[in-house]
A = this chain, B = another copy of it.
Amino acid sequence: MPAVPGPRRRPTLDTVARAVGVSRATVSNAYNRPDQLSAPLRARILAVADQLGYPGPDPVARSLATRRSAAVAFVLATPLSTAFSDPALTTALDGLASTVDEHGHGLLLVPGTADAGPRPEAVARAQADVIVLHSLADDVPALRAAGHRRLPLLVIDQPVVPTAARVEIDDEGGAAAAAEHLLRLGHRRVGVLALPFAPDHTEGPAGEARRATARYRVSRDRLAGYLRTLGAVGADPDAPPVWEATSSDREAGRRGGRWLLGRRPRPTALLCMSDELALGAVRAAGDLGLSVPGDVSVVGFDDTRAAAASDPPLTTIHQPLAEKGRRAGEIALGLLAGDPPGPPVRLPTHLVVRSSTAPPR
């Protein structure tokens, strides 16, 4: 049979079925349920399909029919540039991605805009079976959009959404452990280098008012952990100075570190809400001719790979980042399979003492 080009319409299941002389159902089975038809027939179908240039079942049509997209949407607060430079995020994201990938699911990234979080329309249009929300501010529009979809939701770290599954860590406890470590060493004048309290590009000293309106739970909880612990022993009778960074990266940390270390009396130690910020603070100390931990102690948060590899190696709060991602992936797959949300999964943190902390001089 010579190839009759015809109007060159793209072939579909039906095209193949006609060519072979079977029904569409049978062709469909040839692809999806090899055991439902005889091997020779299947071979013939596949051969004809190939010769016709049939690309295989259309994913979108299949999704419509099965009500499954085989993808999980990952919604994040920031543009990808910011996100990718944050090791705490990428480590968790990788855990999530490999888990869902192993089960045949793709990962649809829905990045945030620079100042308003993810676009609600992007969330509304996401072709996915589950939506994973990562560390969004409490009241971003994307949240409503996610709720409107009738999809299972999973929240990592925050915010708290009533019907959503949750994976998080003990931020307040971790922060408290960090502060406690410094108190034990004898520090009494401590500065705080904070993650953003709101997605509004603010950077600078954060007073009571600012802190009270914080829209990131993680920042709120870590700060609470710090302050509660410092306050408990009556350390730092004046409230400790708090600098709010504009994002979790070293340059932002460096700016904050310079400001904090410029206070008088100078803090003898810095509590940093992320390792990247801490690494920036270490550099700031260098800028000012101060040695770490000789003149100033620095403690980070997250225990990323960079923390262990830095000079000096960073004392920090460990959180199981990769596991957080994997657990999130497993839960997402579970939700997708119909499991109910279940109680929040709260992963443990613990203090890792390295060489960036020492007693004050």
Contact = CB atoms under 8 A, between A and B. Distances in A.
A84 B81 contact: no
A55 interface: yes
A239 interface: no
A84 B80 contact: no
Contact of A61 (B64, B94, B124): B64
A210 interface: no
Contact of A108 (B84, B85, B106, B149): B106
Interface string A235-263: 00000000000000000000000000000
Contacts of A53: 150
Interface residues of A, number: 43
A273 B81 CA distance: 23
Interface in A47-92: 53, 55-56, 59-61, 63-64, 69-71, 73, 79-81, 84-85, 87, 90-91
Contact of A106 (B61, B93, B122, B150): B122
A115 interface: no
Nearest to A106: B108
A125 interface: yes
A94 B98 contact: no
Contacts of A148: 55-56
A70 B60 CA distance: 12
A80 B70 CA distance: 18
A126 interface: yes
A63 B63 CA distance: 10
B109 A107 contact: yes
A60 B55 contact: no
A127 B63 contact: yes
**Copies per complex of this chain:** 2
Contacts of A121: 104
Interface string A147-169: 01110000000000000000000
A74 to B, nearest CB: 9
A71 B122 contact: no
B10 A108 contact: no
A208 B191 CA distance: 57
A196 B70 CA distance: 32
Contacts of A126: 59, 106
Nearest to A114: B98
A97 interface: yes
A61 B84 CA distance: 32
Given A59-B125, A127-B60, A106 B110 contact: yes
A199 interface: no
A307 to B, nearest CB: 15
Given A69-B127, A127-B63, A109 B97 contact: yes
Contacts of A61: 64
A91 B85 CA distance: 9
A58 B29 CA distance: 26
**8 closest pairs, A vs B, by CB?**
A84-B90, A81-B94, A80-B94, A80-B97, A107-B109, A60-B63, A55-B148, A59-B127
Interface of A: 10, 53, 55-56, 59-61, 63-64, 69-71, 73, 79-81, 84-85, 87, 90-91, 93-94, 97-98, 101, 104, 106-111, 119, 121-122, 124-127, 148-150
